[in-house]
Amino acid sequence: MTEKQNPSNPILIVDDELSILLAIDTTLQLAGFNNVMTCQDSREVMKILEKQQPEILLLDLNMPHIDGERLLDIIKLEYPDIPIIVVTGAIDVETAVRCMRSGAFDYVVKPVEEGRLLAAINRALDFGELKRENLALKHHILKEGLQHPDAFQEIITRNKKMLSIFQYIESISGSSQPVLVQGETGVGKELVARSIHKLSRVKGQFVAVNVAGLDDNVFSDTLFGHVKGAFTGAERDRSGLIEKASGGTLFLDEIGDLSPTSQVKLLRLLQEREYFPLGQDEPRPTDSRIVASTLADLRSRAQKGAFRKDLNYRLTTHQIHVPPLRERKDDIRLLVDHFLVQAARELNKKRPTPPDELYDLLSIYSFPGNIRELQAMVFDAVSQHKGKILSLEGFKNRMQQEKNFKRQLISKDTDNHYAPLVVIGEFPTIREATQWLVSEAMRKAGNNQSIAAGLLGISQQALSKRLKKECR
């Protein structure tokens, strides 16, 4: 089996001293960078770049034939996207700073310190990956449509916000960095995570776990596994989900509820790409991609001390906010039709015909439970359906139950001065307020008197009389 190249393009080391080349090459190989090239003659550098552009170039400044400063200027002119780390002696720090002003990414002082060198290389790799992602995102913004629409076939939508999210997902699909998917309950965060997994073209599995309410021991055992004898009852080794997701995607749902101790362990997993099974002292590496989701505002929680700021920064390398259904009501008809077919098939019934009023009725509802709530409404209505035309009563009852629930919450909150009418300027008269309510109800109901009457809590006949009276 061929060993995977790390990084995919080589790290090129240019230095006239063979001992320096060998020392840096060995350091990189031991750190896991197995795709390394060396060059001892500065005159050969441009020929090498013509054949293959490196991921990073380590450039000595003091060399015969073509010195490092001059070579830096030539490379930045012809290959401006290659990050160049200059390697210099302590007496040449001012020269190194001058080189950075000319476009060098960083500098390392001889004798080369291993930690400093690896830190500079990792920053350069991250920078290169981010730059490629930005270019891909720009390409998607300028280009209409999707390259891989099949990856999103489970998400029913024609909404422009959702389509722009799909384009963003395509642009970051090749990234190994974490993705945070935010949104209210029921908007389809896991479906978005699965789309990310599909587009990543990874060979491993998609593994999902809800981490809400897990104490640290359960979290650690679930994710990292344990070795035999790690605790009472651990009679054999057990692999964790992170190993199951090797070469694939680990989806951590409700990450905002993770305990502080578990947050520290997750941070290490993201930073070092390694973990410790319970009862083991040696770390194990992982190549799984982390996708997390939350309905909480992690930035706000971090400000309050309930969530680690450094973990928040790590998780939010790429961020996706899935809009609630009330912000994508152009999807309601598509979703209803989809759920009608699904419900009829599962309940072994013929697909009922929805009346046109159904879509007007649903368009005025806020859907606190989002798509999951709409699905439940449709399934309940189909389960009770007997005729040809689907009844609206089940939908109306559920909407009324939600309205009554909200009223109960408001009545219990003595500090909430609830007012159904926002008054600007002078306080309105009863007649003015009534006219506004009738007008607003008709607008929200799409001029459907039956639905508007339901909003106002009066009969359709009473509303009709009032409208005729106002027209006189």
Residue whose structure tokens are 């929805």: 354
Q: Rounded CA gap, 202 and 205, in Å?
A: 8
- The per-residue pLDDT for 195 is 95
Yes or no: say if 206 and 258 are a contact pair by the CB < 8 Å rule.
no
Q: Rounded CA gap, 395 and 402, in Å?
A: 11
Please, how many CA atoms are within 13 Å of residue 30, restricted to the half-sphere of its CB? 10
pLDDT in tens, 257-286: 899 999 999 999 998 889 999 998 888 999
- The per-residue pLDDT for 139 is 59
Hey, what amino acid is at 349? K
Hey, what amino acid is at 370? N
pLDDT in tens, 130-155: 777 666 665 555 455 788 888 898 99
Let me know the angle formed at the C-alpha of 448 by 442 and 450, rounded to the nearest 5 degrees. 100
- The per-residue pLDDT for 262 is 93
The reply to whether omega before 80 is within 30° of 0 (cis) is no
Q: Which two three-digit tokens encode residue 328?
A: 């994508």
Q: Are strands 36-39 and 11-14 parallel, antiparallel or unpaired?
A: parallel
Q: How far is CA 183 from CA 302, 362, 370, 457, in A?
A: 18, 21, 10, 32
Q: Rounded CA gap, 262 and 217, in Å?
A: 9
pLDDT tens track of the chain, all 472 residues? 456 788 889 999 999 999 999 999 999 999 989 999 999 999 999 999 999 899 999 999 889 889 888 899 899 888 888 999 998 876 667 777 788 888 888 888 888 899 999 989 988 888 877 777 666 665 555 455 788 888 898 999 989 999 999 999 999 988 889 999 999 999 999 999 999 999 988 889 999 999 988 889 999 999 999 988 888 888 899 899 999 999 999 999 999 989 999 999 999 999 888 999 999 888 899 989 999 999 989 999 999 999 999 999 999 999 999 999 999 999 999 999 899 988 988 888 888 889 888 998 898 888 999 999 999 999 999 999 887 889 998 898 888 888 777 666 545 554 544 445 444 444 567 777 888 888 888 888 888 888 888 888 888 888 888 887 776 6
Q: Where do the domains of the chain lie, and which CATH numbers do they carry? A: 11-131 (3.40.50.2300), 144-323 (3.40.50.300), 326-412 (1.10.8.60), 430-471 (1.10.10)
Ramachandran assignment for 225, one of left (phi > 0), alpha (psi -120 to 50 degrees), beta (any other): left
Q: Which two three-digit tokens encode residue 337?
A: 């039709």
H helix or E strand, kind and range, residue 11: strand 11-14
Radius of gyration of the chain (CA): 30
pLDDT in tens, 211-255: 988 889 999 999 999 988 888 888 899 899 999 999 999 999 999
- The per-residue pLDDT for 418 is 43
